[in-house]
Structure 1
Amino acid sequence: MSSETETGAPADTGNAASECGLTSVLRTPTAVVHLEYDAAAPPPAPGAGWTRFVCVSDTHTRAVRVPPGDVLLHGGDLTHSGKAAEFEGVLAWLGALPHAAKIIIAGNHDLSLDGHDGWYDRNWRRWHESAKKQDVARIRELLQGPKAAQAGIVYLEDRKYEFEAKENGRMWSIYGSPWSPWFMDWGFNYERGEEADQRVAAFPKADILLTHGPPHEILDKTIHEEHVGCESLLARLPSLRPRLHLFGHIHEDHGAIIKQWSGPGDGSGGDTQAGQTVFVNAAQWPMGPRSRGPEGKRVRFGEAPFQPVIVDLLDEV
């Protein structure tokens, strides 16, 4: 097992799956990750003392086929441009899924949800002029109203949440944030550097970290071979050490990596002092070299090798 680097970044155990030809299953004593599997007969959970998290992101209005599990996590870009009609379809899809808890965040494409500093009020015509300005209050009611709550849907926007995945089970904590580094002034963008530092400094410890964008050099490589993840988020991770960090945004680097931590954390103790973190880029929009099959046929949303990622975590570590 390799050790933590001098910068405090997690060390790669070699358990990685984001390129063609690499294993579709990652295993450690406390985590099992499935990237490709038979959608009609998903692999069973390791045992009774485990919780199954099903991870998706960047569905862009598509109702992808999702395997059953205890918890569904969505890393944002629920829609393509944040229109109310798009959200209605997404919420109908989510509401019909069997997972007891469905925890979601927005992404840069969920434009109408970005109300910080009047951003949507200033920018809506760039995308919605022909469709008119969207009713943000109605959209938030869809996401956070009683119908969503009854369906087990929890929308997080820079907020921590605690929940039981199973009746009389352990309590899990999750923090969700929709922000990602600046890209063409889309929704929930921050500037790299000082603004990014301020954003991620507010992230609390939690068992699960849910962000739209990836950390720098972790499943963040574009088709142009550029690492575009957030440097500030990477620097914050040694203090946070979540057991699972789910994101999307960079469609072409869909995959998972399990990284080990060494040395003490920040001394705060608790279960969030994880010895390892499972990093998952669960983007469902096929892009890059793996977006076409052996015969050149385009891979559909949510199909291998861009399936929802199954993450089984041991309840007590």
Structure 2
Amino acid sequence: MSKENPYYRNIVLKSPREVVYLEYTPSLLPPKPAADPDGTRWTRFVCVSDTHSRAFSVPDGDVLLHSGDLTNTGTVSDFEKTMQWLYGLPHPVKIIIAGNHDLTLHTEWYEREYERFHWNVGKQDIKPIMEMLKGARAQKAGIVYLEDEKYEFKVHENGKLWSVFGSPWSPEFFNWAFNYERETAEELVSKFPKTDILLTHGPAHQIFDRTNHDDLPGCQTLRARLSELRPRLHVAGHIHEAHGAHVHVWDPADDFAPPIIQNDDIVGSTNVDEPISVEVGGDVGLERTVFVNAANWPMGALARRDGVRPVFGGPGFQAVVVDLKE
């Protein structure tokens, strides 16, 4: 390993209907599983978040999922950088949401607060931003922007109809965009429908939400609601240092209790060379959720390997690849 190229580890989580590549050598990433003899196929989801107008290499796949903080502060210039990158990615379907840094997309809030953030560049025009997100070029690139919306799609002509709900909100944090007070969380989160995929910018409480200061700012109301929603895949971000993935088995004998999981529970030491393969057991008939914190900005304990800081979206902070059986 050179000091300029921190090494990749190989961390894979496996269960009968889910395969998750948390970390991998890009050139050696396996393809998604082949279709079963009965024709049942798999869909590959590539999960990113908190890219903040950065561009980096991500694996190909059927669907790209972006869980917010597309930009630094939501300027037109920021969005131009982000969208040029997204337009050029090969994924046929790209589903994106905003985060607390995408200030201009929270239009009512931005009208009140823009001078705090954009005093030096001036108030930003939302029209060209929305054109980038929803206009002809975005549609041609397969980009779907969701703001508290449900969307359904297929990646195979005769395949599964996938459903996804995307929400940009996260608990209040110094009055940034799409923040909510915890006492109003129930009103917001209760409207989330049951879907195959849930995209939220903020994580649920005690699920990949621990900060460098050992705070757990994830949403407690969302955590409680997960027992009812039980999506196949829940992708969040927001807490950069909590990047990680976990396959949870929903056990009715435990009242469908959600997991308590942080990234060091799975990854452990960052200085181990051996590959990690986690086989997720349990009754094959039980529902499972793949939980992902897909933040790509290196931060926290995982952002140092032998004293070397990984590149953006590099070792420890790669796009998380999730293969789901249809």
Pick the TM interval, shorter chain.
Answer: 0.7 to 0.9
* Whole-angstrom CA distance in 2 between matches of 1:156 and 1:309: 20
1:255 to 244, 262, 272: 244
Query: What does 1:115-264 correspond to in 2, within 5 Å?
Result: 115=107, 118-193=108-183, 195-263=184-252
Cα deviation 1:198-226 (Å, max 9, x = unaligned): 11000001000000000000000001111
Aligned identity (percent) is 56
Q: Which amino acid aligns with 2:152?
A: E
Q: 1:283 to 1:239 in 2, by over 3 A?
A: same
Q: Which amino acid aligns with 1:142?
A: M
Aligned partner of 1:82 in structure 2 is 74
Query: What does 1:44-123 correspond to in 2, within 5 Å?
Result: 44-48=31-35, 49-115=41-107, 118-123=108-113
Deviation at 1:274, TM superposition (A): 7.0
What TM-score, normalized to structure 2? 0.84
* Whole-angstrom CA distance in 2 between matches of 1:83 and 1:167: 38
Deviation at 1:167, TM superposition (A): 3.1
Structure 1 residue matching 2:150: 3-state secondary structure: strand
Cα deviation 1:87-132 (Å, max 9, x = unaligned): 11111111111100000000000000002xx210010011111111
Structure 2 residue matching 1:223: 3-state secondary structure: coil
Deviation at 1:299, TM superposition (A): 1.1
Aligned partner of 1:283 in structure 2 is 295
Aligned partner of 2:278 in structure 1 is none
Contact 2:12 2:20 in 1 (8 A): yes
What TM-score, normalized to structure 1? 0.87
Aligned partner of 1:9 in structure 2 is none
1:297 aligns with 2:308: yes
Cα deviation 1:153-189 (Å, max 9, x = unaligned): 0000000000012333211000000000000000000
Structure 2 residue matching 1:257: 3-state secondary structure: strand
Aligned length: 285
Contact 2:241 2:298 in 1 (8 A): yes
* Whole-angstrom CA distance in 1 between matches of 2:147 and 2:69: 13
Q: Which amino acid aligns with 1:293?
A: R
Cα deviation 1:209-257 (Å, max 9, x = unaligned): 0000000000000011111100000010111110000000000010001
* Whole-angstrom CA distance in 1 between matches of 2:237 and 2:52: 12
CA RMSD of aligned residues (A): 1.8
* Whole-angstrom CA distance in 2 between matches of 1:180 and 1:174: 18
* Whole-angstrom CA distance in 1 between matches of 2:26 and 2:325: 23
Contact 1:241 1:274 in 2 (8 A): no
Give unpaired runs (5+ residues) of structure 2.
Answer: 1-7, 36-40, 257-284
* Whole-angstrom CA distance in 2 between matches of 1:229 and 1:64: 27
1:27 aligns with 2:17: no
* Whole-angstrom CA distance in 2 between matches of 1:131 and 1:43: 45
Q: Which amino acid aligns with 2:287?
A: G
Cα deviation 1:253-312 (Å, max 9, x = unaligned): 10001111122999xxxxxx9711100000000000111221x12111110111000000
Name which of structure 1's ranges 163-172 and 240-249 shifts more when overlaid on structure 2: 163-172
Contact 1:221 1:250 in 2 (8 A): yes
Aligned partner of 1:12 in structure 2 is none
* Whole-angstrom CA distance in 1 between matches of 2:319 and 2:169: 22
